[in-house]
Amino acid sequence: MALVSIKRILISESVDPCCKKILQDNGIQVTEKQNMTKDELIAAIKDYDGLVVRSATKVTAEIINAAVNLKIIGRAGTGVDNVDVDAATKRGIIVMNTPSGNTISAAELTCILLMSLSRCLPQAAMSMKAGNWDRKKFMGTELYGKILGIVGLGRIGKEVATRMQSFGMKTIGYDPITPPKISATWGVEQMSLEQLWPQCDYITVHTPLMPSTTGLLNDATFAKCKRGVKVVNCARGGIIDEAALLRALESGQCGGAGLDVFVEEPPKDYVLVNHANVISCPHLGASTKEAQARCGQDIALQIVDMMQGKALVGAVNAQVLASTFSPDSHQWIKLGEALGMVLRTCSASKQPYGQVQITTIGESLKNSVAFLGSAVMVGLLKDSPKNSPNLVNVLALAQEAGITIIRNHAGGDQKLSKSSCMVEISASGSRYKATGSVQGEVPVLLELNGSIFRQPIPLTGNLLFFKAVTTPQVLSSVASELATAGVGMESFSASVDHNGDQWCCMGLSSLLGDLGVLKPLVNEATQLFV
């Protein structure tokens, strides 16, 4: 099952040619247009289903809101700080990056800067080119036996650690996500930042840029470090406070810095770049032929695999979708959405919703409650006046609407089905409940508001639900009204218990033009197309 249909993609930056070829080979029209202004991009983006960028294109909320057909934003590289992910999520647009495409290249550049800082190699080379022979001026230090602090122990941090250990460096680190037991297997002892700062001879940062990491190295943290500590940033400009770094360099508290990234790129103020103890590069972390080919290939293949329903890799705002790429999950997603639609139709006069509780039943659905819950909410919010709900944005839409979502998993209920999904909603003081399952790859309704159906109802086509005492006379009268309206009855299912009012369902050839004709015959009636 393909989650989205991608027909046209715009590549707004220089990406390896293999990216375009892979996309075109899979039937996608590709337009390459570099150096677009913001206004040019806003004007053009409405014509595309997908956008592929690197780091120069700033995909702002203004651009995203103009992208009326956009379904995916692909970043050919690590990180997505040049994309407004929140704005994309609200619009139901998948944002993905290539998490491992430039890992080796970025790690190698980090190691090169660490080595260059230890021996002043760029400065010595420039001195030689100027005709000088300053052996004493460029006295260096060995890396052997020194302590390297690695802040951020993801893919790149791990690769830096293993390489610098070969120089005899002791590697310590900090990461709020990677378990210490894991990092210990590749030779990194984890500790708090407060413990890390005073121990390090060298510090390298490999974290995303976010509020908690902006200015991570600042005046206060530099003061806690060893005098003469050397720092490297090949991650994102702003993780190291540039003004604080300059002060630390001038005071000698920082003995040198290797910078590949800056807050402003290119920087307008070159005071930091021109400092004698700074080695700087114009954001070259991913600038290798291998990394560019890998990132271009990865982003193209990820888009194609997602489009073909094979897998979802690198998505940063649609984690719930990762478990939906299996043949078994497709029909359950359809079931969840259909259950939501049934309950939305039944509760139309009672909205807005207050609480939605989704319970999966059966061992096979133990890990499915997340995507089933999202699928149910898509069905419930189908007529949202703002954004069209999908599995990417529906939780954000539900939060905006003030809906509380509760997810549970329970053991099997043989009374209903070995595996089933039960949804209960509250709306304006009333409660509605529906239970469904998948039988023979067909989503079916098993129960509606306490009425358990004798025959499971296939949730497909035109469906008429009505509540009444199901006597032969009532059924005959309903069938007569349908015939009078030119609507054929294709299927019928009544509930097991005939005592009192019960819900019944009819499959129709088309929806009834006026439900009012059934009011004299039944207590409640609603219809929908699934």
What pLDDT does residue 313 have?
Answer: 87
Decide: 371 and 407 in contact? Cβ < 8 Å.
no
Decide: 302 and 96 in contact? Cβ < 8 Å.
yes
What pLDDT does residue 295 have?
Answer: 94
What pLDDT does residue 215 have?
Answer: 96
- Chain segment 15-24, per-residue pLDDT in tens: 999 999 999 9
Task: Return the structure tokens found at 279.
Answer: 């080695």
Q: How confident is the model at residue 57 (pLDDT cuts 50, 70, 90)?
A: very high
Higher local confidence (pLDDT), 322 or 275: 275
Q: Tell if the pTM clears 0.75, that is, is over it.
A: yes
Give the Cα separation of 219 and 210 in Å (integer): 19
Task: Return the structure tokens found at 332.
Answer: 């359950």
Q: Does 516 have pLDDT greater than 70?
A: yes
Q: How far is CA 242 from CA 120, 150, 222, 269, 490, in A?
A: 21, 19, 12, 11, 72
Number of C-beta neighbours around residue 490 at 10 A: 11
Find where tokens 């929908």 sit: 528
Decide: 317 and 88 in contact? Cβ < 8 Å.
yes
Give the Cα separation of 376 and 339 in Å (integer): 6
Is residue 344 flagged as an active site residue?
A: no
Mean pLDDT within 158-185: 97
The whole-chain average pLDDT of the chain stands at 91
What pLDDT does residue 512 have?
Answer: 92
Decide: 441 and 460 in contact? Cβ < 8 Å.
no
Q: How confident is the model at residue 330 (pLDDT cuts 50, 70, 90)?
A: confident
Instruction: Using a pLDDT cut of 70, give the percent of the chain over it.
Output: 95
Between 261-270, 377-386, 479-488, the lowest mean confidence (pLDDT) is in 377-386
Q: Does 67 have pLDDT greater than 90?
A: yes
Question: Highest mean pLDDT range out of 125-139, 220-234, 319-333?
Answer: 220-234
Number of C-beta neighbours around residue 462 at 10 A: 18
Task: Return the structure tokens found at 255.
Answer: 């003995």
DSSP three-state, residue 390:
coil
Q: Does 352 have pLDDT greater than 90?
A: no
What pLDDT does residue 252 have?
Answer: 97
Among candidate residues 283, 294, 344, 447, the one labeled active-site is: 283
Closest Cα partner for 341 from 256, 416, 253, 423?
A: 423
Q: Does 404 have pLDDT greater than 60?
A: yes
Mean pLDDT within 312-323: 79
- Chain segment 442-472, per-residue pLDDT in tens: 999 999 998 899 899 999 999 999 988 878 8
Burial of 13 (0-12, 13-18, 19+ CB in 10 A): middle
What pLDDT does residue 437 have?
Answer: 94
What pLDDT does residue 366 have?
Answer: 83
Helix, strand, coil tally for the chain in percent (to 5): 35, 25, 40
Q: How far is CA 465 from CA 24, 53, 493, 499, in A?
A: 47, 49, 10, 18
Give the Cα separation of 266 and 434 in Å (integer): 58
- Chain segment 185-232, per-residue pLDDT in tens: 999 999 999 999 999 999 999 998 889 999 999 999 999 999 999 999
Q: How confident is the model at residue 349 (pLDDT cuts 50, 70, 90)?
A: confident
Q: Does 167 have pLDDT greater than 70?
A: yes
* Position 336, amino acid: G
Q: How confident is the model at residue 329 (pLDDT cuts 50, 70, 90)?
A: confident
What pLDDT does residue 414 have?
Answer: 47
Mean pLDDT within 343-369: 88
Is residue 236 flagged as an active site residue?
A: yes
Mean pLDDT within 154-161: 96
Task: Return the structure tokens found at 391.
Answer: 């599995």
Between 142-156, 325-339, 434-448, the lowest mean confidence (pLDDT) is in 325-339
Q: Does 288 have pLDDT greater than 80?
A: yes
- How is residue 269 annotated by DSSP? -
Q: How confident is the model at residue 382 (pLDDT cuts 50, 70, 90)?
A: confident
First to last CA, the chain: 17
Q: Does 314 have pLDDT greater than 50?
A: yes
Q: Does 415 have pLDDT greater than 60?
A: no
- Chain segment 79-125, per-residue pLDDT in tens: 788 999 999 999 999 999 998 889 999 999 999 999 999 999 999 99
Burial of 141 (0-12, 13-18, 19+ CB in 10 A): middle
Among candidate residues 265, 290, 363, 490, the one labeled active-site is: 265
Closest Cα partner for 374 from 347, 433, 334?
A: 334
Higher local confidence (pLDDT), 22 or 55: 22
- How is residue 226 annotated by DSSP? P
Among candidate residues 54, 91, 206, 236, the one labeled active-site is: 236
3-state SS of 285-333? Answer: CCCCHHHHHHHHHHHHHHHHHHHCCCCCCCECCCHHHHHHCCHHHHHHH
Give the Cα separation of 388 and 90 in Å (integer): 10
Q: Does 383 have pLDDT greater than 80?
A: no
DSSP three-state, residue 8:
strand
What pLDDT does residue 299 have?
Answer: 97
Is residue 283 flagged as an active site residue?
A: yes
Give the Cα separation of 280 and 274 in Å (integer): 9
Q: Does 412 have pLDDT greater than 80?
A: no
| Helices and strands of the chain, counted as H and E runs | 16, 22
DSSP three-state, residue 394:
helix
Give the Cα separation of 185 and 390 in Å (integer): 40
| Contacts of 471 by beta carbon, 8 Å cutoff, 6+ apart | none
The strand pairing partners of 223, in sequence order, are none
What pLDDT does residue 388 have?
Answer: 81
Mean pLDDT within 170-174: 98
